[in-house]
Amino acid sequence: MNATEIIAALEPLVPDAGLLALSPIDESLNPTIGVPVEHLTAVCRALRETPGLEFVAFSDVTAADFHPRRTPRFDVVYHFVSPHRRARVRLKVQVHTDEPVPTVSTIWSGAGWPERELFDLFGIVFEGHPDLRRLMMPEDWEGYPLRKDYPVQVRKDAQTFMPLQVTEEEFRANVERDRMVRPKA
């Protein structure tokens, strides 16, 4: 089943959704469909419940940050499997920085923890999620480490360990200096 066939099956069920067939590297393995964020849950319900589609298995959800190259900033990418048809589908939803994404954990309960992970690391809010809180980072952590604008040291040279070579005289002088700095207990 390719993206065009899946969209043809979905269009009568989710009219005016504006689904778009995207071109992955290998269309036969993962047909990819662009979905507007406001139609995500309706499309997901149709994918799961429609005879002939039956994408009943949630596989994964991840995200990509395209800051500063593109607006909307994020792609939220879902992967579903239809074991009856031995088919896979990928949904891509583009969202802005502060735009909430409706949770699909009400459709596939297995999406709960991966959505929490995206919230924790990217700051993407999943509206309607039953337990949206940090998963890996401490509760008091500031920022989202997988965002491209997260402050990190990017221009630091790699550090390597080099053994210190000193002469016997330098060693003795260092020991004497340390004794003078630290009073005896």
The reported pLDDT for the residue numbered 159 is 63
The reported pLDDT for the residue numbered 23 is 72
Mean pLDDT calculated for residue range 50-74 = 94
- Asked if the bond preceding 36 is cis, omega within 30° of 0, the reply is no
The reported pLDDT for the residue numbered 19 is 92
Distance CA 138, CA 183 (A): 40
pLDDT > 70? residue 88: yes
Closest residue by Cα to residue 77 from 124, 109, 135, 45: 124
Distance CA 139, CA 135 (A): 9
- The answer to whether the beta carbons of residues 43 and 91 sit under 8 Å apart is yes
Decide which of 157 and 41 is more confident.
41
Could you give the domains of the chain? 3-153 (3.30.460.80)
pLDDT in tens, 21-30: 987 666 667 8
Mean pLDDT calculated for residue range 120-137 = 94
pLDDT > 60? residue 185: no
pLDDT > 70? residue 158: no
The reported pLDDT for the residue numbered 184 is 60
